[in-house]
Structure 1
């Protein structure tokens, strides 16, 4: 639980993504058509938070090692950020696809 507490205190992106989760979780019940879609929307949303925590951990370790610029440190941070970006894009694609599909079917 220290990890969650630390992420909450020190990572603005983590707090923003949790706010997004609070908004999206109830919406999943309206957007999702059946249990499988609802669970997919919830899991893909939590994936963003998980990847953000891992990225924050990578950044903390790199910063702990030293403040001088090193190519490998930069690569590690860049790859962590890329993982967060991919998780966010995957989240947007799944939410967009299911929302669009279910709206068209409803119409």
Structure 2
């Protein structure tokens, strides 16, 4: 059995907000993607598209932010284990980067397909 405190919604929410605050403060890639989100997400409201297409635009862009958070978690975990070069550490970090790359690719293709249609 895990040694874990009982679930507390307020505490868990505060942990999540601390994590977001730390990402904004320390991860330049996340800051750039968040800036794009602040600029592009309001566009969704104004485009003359169906609700389904608007949801696709929102979900694919949200996927980029989620992928960056996952990548940051992977990088921080690997760095916690070792700061020395290790082939497996590189593979883990490269996999995290691939998550971000694919999410940006999917987002870009989706936005271009919908907005240029």
Query: TM-score with structure 2 length normalisation?
Result: 0.82
Partner of 1:68: 84
Partner of 1:14: 30
**Offset from partner CA, 1:15-63 (integer Å, 9 cap, x none):** 1101101111111123351111111101110110000001001000101
After superposition, residues 4-83 of structure 1 pair within 5 angstroms as 4-31=20-47, 33-83=49-99
| SS state at 1:2 partner | helix
Return structure 1 stretches of 4+ with deviation > 2 angstroms. 29-32
Residue number among 99, 103, 112 corresponding to 1:87 in the alignment: 103
The gaps in structure 2 that reach 5 residues or longer are: 1-16
The structure that is helix-richer by fraction is 1
Give the RMSD, CA atoms, in angstroms. Answer: 1.0
Does 1 or 2 have the higher relative contact order (CA < 8 Å, sep 6+)?
1
Partner of 2:11: none
8 Å CA contact retained: 1:32, 1:41 = no
The gaps in structure 1 that reach 5 residues or longer are: 102-107
| SS state at 1:81 partner | helix
Cα deviation, residue 67, structure 1 = 1.1
More displaced 10-residue stretch of structure 1: 80-89 or 29-38: 29-38
Query: TM-score with structure 1 length normalisation?
Result: 0.90
